[in-house]
A and B are shown apart, each in its own frame.
Chain A
């Protein structure tokens, strides 16, 4: 016979040590007596277990099941787990899949009970705020779990309330978190007067009562998920009997009440005014754009379009760059300067055109001091598309020129191969024209190719100008 003495509660370490010893000795589960929290045996007839037996390698699901089941209160838990391990090591490695096996079934029930208990502790534990003498925020909770799960719940509470200082007290152990480290402590008794002065606790009870619909009373469904044993530690539960008692009368009153005639007159003016929420001018739209948060990461500020309403040509770029982001104006960086020069050569006065971007914020990644431009994704372009369309609706240009693939995507809703499809293109409501983005020209290595690309760009702009009927240059 072998006798194993384990500590009270979930003694995972003790069980693991014993298991290694038993496996090393090849002990049959029938030969082992598991004893929990008892004084060590006085009789010397039990065989000692080897102290430094090697680890036992088990399939991962078996390990997870052991960790859970040791938390259960069932005194047989260790013996059952030993039988499981015994069989697994004797060839039934997949035995946990055999859900109908009586041992697997029994362990599954224990595991389920532990997991439910964990879940209920996560759910029904309530913190109370207690003010330290120095005024610091601190939280305390009292809870009574069914099983030895206090340590197992710690990761949940630490993760969720990492930035708070809190204590959890239970009859089977306690936890203390000081924003840096966790201390696992001994069993505790229920502290007195936790509810004093915490008005949020009172608010929570009022909320609980208000969110209940008396027309749908169903206490059985409530008790199935929140059995009475939890009520003592739930402040809101004190209201339950009264809520159930008064429900039928409340419903009767609702049904009997005559269909109401409104006491107040219809707010006709306000209702009519509500329909006029749309921005009525470009300036109003720009105010909205400027007030909005970036829909792409980064950005100091939004960069609205620039130019006269009624401009014959609207030019749409991709997004503001580094300099545009700082100045709040479109096309002021290197690509913008190149555009200005090309416009001039094509005979378009920059100040007579409307210049804007498909995306209104600068998207970038920081590399040291530099902010590297990142193209917006197709989805991000769509976030901004509503504004672009509204904007064009105010400007009403005769031609919309898109620079580069992003702008073309914003106007057509599909990915356009700019070099292949450059030239006139219908953009739904708008006459359009697709050409390259000047930043593309800047990226070409200096030389004949770059010069040719620039000449093509200027030629595109000149064509665009002709399309809106401006006379060609003399």
Chain B
């Protein structure tokens, strides 16, 4: 690896880091065997963490950060003055294999600014994946960012080589998209999601490979005026209509070379966190968007407490819940109890009547849960209805320390 390539790596990793999706999960087990290289394990591995707390699992780079589009929130838009660089297909292949063999990564996450035309760009991305798979027997993970403006047949080809395809919606409403990303088109983006979603389903039924780890998307939060409610409504539609695996939320982050069209102040990072928690409630805990939003005010989630606790505090008449008799659905709604803890409770109570100390062994969130739970030796009494319950459950804010 020569110095010029190192410099490019620096520029094109920096340019890619605002994309939140880095997961390497969902791929079927697969190995490269004696002639290829690599394997996927299903769950994916984080090979490092950066000081922003994010997992480094895939080599996340852009093929190029030159771009003909002018999306206001993006550091790579054509009107920004950032340093530019461009990898060749072969360079990306070499970097991926080199880092992979040193056990630094699970695979590649490749995206790109749009050069020449969306078709040309998409083809280059597809060629990287094809070269890795076909010429090097690469069995690691490949996540390709799909260019929604590219011709549909290129997307059909990309899905043959990639484990996951993603198309970023970026902004929750079509109106914001028009305002901030003039070259993009919400309807076209959703049409491609539809195409990919359909192909994934068909391939699964016909036992063929097509983006076997599904598709995902990202929405930027806080760059436009969208409320949490409208963001979550959009996610809910995406999950149900296009079978998305994941929606990533990325709090709009200050970027060098910011556009004057953007808000000067970034949103609190906590907002992103709350959206992820709400997203989980939506997918795994049986909550509806309306229930989640009702926990907050005016379509925005409560930043001070997690959305499950927020919902419980506003629906206290449904508590306390008896760990020894309540059904799974209701246990899932108890603040502090995660889905795994609930499953263990359901299994364990077949053998014994659970007391509070038993629950403590099954869940690490008992402190929060005890105000909402009845156990053999425990009843919260008036605690559930106390006016200051929220204050009691929320730890006093700590000064953030940097190391």
Given the known inter-chain contacts A97-B347, A119-B45, A213-B253, please indicate yes or no for A200 contacting B51, CB distance below 8 A. no
Beta-carbon contacts under 8 Å, B217-268 to A: 253-260, 264, 266
On chain A, the residues within 8 Å of B157 by CB distance are 292-293, 295
On chain A, the residues within 8 Å of B266 by CB distance are 215
Given the known inter-chain contacts A221-B49, A262-B80, A382-B202, please indicate yes or no for A244 contacting B37, CB distance below 8 A. no
**Pair B6/A217 contact, Cβ less than 8 Å:** no
The residue in chain A whose Cβ has the minimal distance to the Cβ of B30 is A159
Residue in B36, B95, B205 whose CB lies within 8 Å of A163: B36
On chain A, the residues within 8 Å of B79 by CB distance are 262, 266
The residue in chain B whose Cβ has the minimal distance to the Cβ of A218 is B53
- Mark each residue of chain B from 46 to 90: 1 if its CB lies under 8 Å from any CB of chain A, else 0: 111111111110011000000010000000001111000000000
A133 on the interface (CB 8 Å rule)? no
Binds A, one of B281-289, B310-318, B354-362: B354-362
On chain A, the residues within 8 Å of B257 by CB distance are 257, 260
Report the Cα distance A163→B78, complex, angstroms. Answer: 43
**Pair B60/A225 contact, Cβ less than 8 Å:** no
Nearest-neighbour CB distance to chain B for A75, whole angstroms, equals 23
**Pair B206/A377 contact, Cβ less than 8 Å:** yes
The residue in chain B whose Cβ has the minimal distance to the Cβ of A119 is B45
- Those 8 A-B pairs whose CB atoms lie nearest each other, nearest first: A221-B53, A379-B202, A100-B358, A259-B260, A277-B117, A218-B53, A210-B13, A262-B79
Nearest-neighbour CB distance to chain B for A246, whole angstroms, equals 10
**Pair A386/B102 contact, Cβ less than 8 Å:** no
**Pair B104/A163 contact, Cβ less than 8 Å:** no
Residue in A141, A162, A211, A266 whose CB lies within 8 Å of B13: A211
Nearest-neighbour CB distance to chain A for B116, whole angstroms, equals 7
Interface SS majority for chain A: helix
Q: Which of A98, A234, A241, A257 has the most CB of B within 10 A?
A: A98
**Pair B101/A164 contact, Cβ less than 8 Å:** yes
B177 on the interface (CB 8 Å rule)? no
On chain A, the residues within 8 Å of B354 by CB distance are 100
A5 on the interface (CB 8 Å rule)? no
Q: Which of A139, A219, A273 has the most CB of B within 10 A?
A: A219
**Pair B151/A277 contact, Cβ less than 8 Å:** yes
- Mark each residue of chain A from 264 to 280: 1 if its CB lies under 8 Å from any CB of chain B, else 0: 10110011011011100
Nearest-neighbour CB distance to chain B for A331, whole angstroms, equals 23
Report the Cα distance A166→B54, complex, angstroms. Answer: 29
Nearest-neighbour CB distance to chain B for A182, whole angstroms, equals 14
B395 on the interface (CB 8 Å rule)? no
B17 on the interface (CB 8 Å rule)? yes
On chain A, the residues within 8 Å of B116 by CB distance are 270, 274
Q: Which of A214, A218, A267 has the most CB of B within 10 A?
A: A218
**Pair A161/B206 contact, Cβ less than 8 Å:** no
A160 on the interface (CB 8 Å rule)? yes
Nearest-neighbour CB distance to chain A for B140, whole angstroms, equals 8
Residue in A224, A236, A387 whose CB lies within 8 Å of B48: A236
On chain B, the residues within 8 Å of A218 by CB distance are 51-53
**Pair A225/B46 contact, Cβ less than 8 Å:** yes
On chain A, the residues within 8 Å of B118 by CB distance are 274, 277
**Pair A274/B68 contact, Cβ less than 8 Å:** yes
On chain A, the residues within 8 Å of B81 by CB distance are 260, 262-264
Given the known inter-chain contacts A100-B358, A295-B160, please indicate yes or no for A206 contacting B6, CB distance below 8 A. yes
On chain B, the residues within 8 Å of A100 by CB distance are 348, 352, 354, 358-359, 361-362
**Pair B6/A222 contact, Cβ less than 8 Å:** no
**Pair B98/A200 contact, Cβ less than 8 Å:** yes
**Pair B51/A254 contact, Cβ less than 8 Å:** no
A-B contacts, 8 of them at CB < 8 A, read A100-B352, A161-B103, A199-B6, A209-B10, A217-B52, A244-B402, A248-B402, A378-B202
Interface residues on A, range: 35 or more
Q: Which of A254, A276, A387 has the most CB of B within 10 A?
A: A254
Residue in B17, B49, B103, B160 whose CB lies within 8 Å of A213: B17
Report the Cα distance A269→B359, complex, angstroms. Answer: 67
**Pair A211/B17 contact, Cβ less than 8 Å:** yes
Nearest-neighbour CB distance to chain B for A120, whole angstroms, equals 10
On chain B, the residues within 8 Å of A234 by CB distance are 48
**Pair A379/B101 contact, Cβ less than 8 Å:** no
On chain A, the residues within 8 Å of B173 by CB distance are none
Nearest-neighbour CB distance to chain B for A214, whole angstroms, equals 8
Beta-carbon contacts under 8 Å, B307-360 to A: 344, 347-348, 350-352, 354, 358-359
Binds B, one of A123-131, A400-408, A414-422, A424-432: A123-131
Report the Cα distance A163→B18, complex, angstroms. Answer: 35
Beta-carbon contacts under 8 Å, B349-403 to A: 350-352, 354, 358-359, 361-362, 402-403
Report the Cα distance A178→B119, complex, angstroms. Answer: 44
On chain A, the residues within 8 Å of B260 by CB distance are 259
- Mark each residue of chain A from 193 to 224: 1 if its CB lies under 8 Å from any CB of chain B, else 0: 00000111111101111111111111111101
On chain B, the residues within 8 Å of A219 by CB distance are 51, 53, 402-403
Nearest-neighbour CB distance to chain B for A263, whole angstroms, equals 5
Report the Cα distance A311→B101, complex, angstroms. Answer: 56
Report the Cα distance A119→B43, complex, angstroms. Answer: 11
Given the known inter-chain contacts A123-B46, A206-B6, please indicate yes or no for A179 contacting B34, CB distance below 8 A. yes
On chain B, the residues within 8 Å of A257 by CB distance are 256-258
On chain A, the residues within 8 Å of B49 by CB distance are 221-222, 225-226
Report the Cα distance A321→B203, complex, angstroms. Answer: 23
- Mark each residue of chain A from 18 to 45: 1 if its CB lies under 8 Å from any CB of chain B, else 0: 0000000000000000000000000000
B114 on the interface (CB 8 Å rule)? yes
Report the Cα distance A124→B102, complex, angstroms. Answer: 10
On chain A, the residues within 8 Å of B188 by CB distance are none
On chain A, the residues within 8 Å of B117 by CB distance are 273-274, 276-277
On chain A, the residues within 8 Å of B6 by CB distance are 199, 202-203, 206
**Pair A244/B403 contact, Cβ less than 8 Å:** yes
Report the Cα distance A164→B350, complex, angstroms. Answer: 50
Report the Cα distance A255→B157, complex, angstroms. Answer: 42
On chain A, the residues within 8 Å of B35 by CB distance are 163
Nearest-neighbour CB distance to chain A for B285, whole angstroms, equals 20
Known A260-B259, A378-B206, A387-B153; 15 more pairs at CB < 8 Å: A101-B351, A162-B33, A163-B137, A200-B99, A203-B1, A212-B51, A216-B269, A217-B51, A221-B52, A254-B258, A263-B81, A277-B118, A278-B151, A293-B130, A382-B199
Report the Cα distance A270→B78, complex, angstroms. Answer: 11
Report the Cα distance A200→B358, complex, angstroms. Answer: 50
- Mark each residue of chain A from 313 to 354: 1 if its CB lies under 8 Å from any CB of chain B, else 0: 000000000000000000000000000000000000000000
- Mark each residue of chain B from 114 to 137: 1 if its CB lies under 8 Å from any CB of chain A, else 0: 101111100000000010000001
On chain A, the residues within 8 Å of B99 by CB distance are 200, 203-204, 207
**Pair B350/A97 contact, Cβ less than 8 Å:** yes
Given the known inter-chain contacts A203-B98, A210-B17, A382-B199, please indicate yes or no for A254 contacting B255, CB distance below 8 A. yes
**Pair A97/B253 contact, Cβ less than 8 Å:** no
Nearest-neighbour CB distance to chain B for A303, whole angstroms, equals 16
**Pair A222/B52 contact, Cβ less than 8 Å:** yes
Report the Cα distance A234→B16, complex, angstroms. Answer: 23
A383 on the interface (CB 8 Å rule)? yes
- Mark each residue of chain A from 158 to 185: 1 if its CB lies under 8 Å from any CB of chain B, else 0: 0111111000000000000001000000
**Pair B153/A206 contact, Cβ less than 8 Å:** no
Given the known inter-chain contacts A94-B351, A124-B47, A199-B1, please indicate yes or no for A159 contacting B102, CB distance below 8 A. no
Report the Cα distance A199→B10, complex, angstroms. Answer: 14
A249 on the interface (CB 8 Å rule)? no
A243 on the interface (CB 8 Å rule)? yes
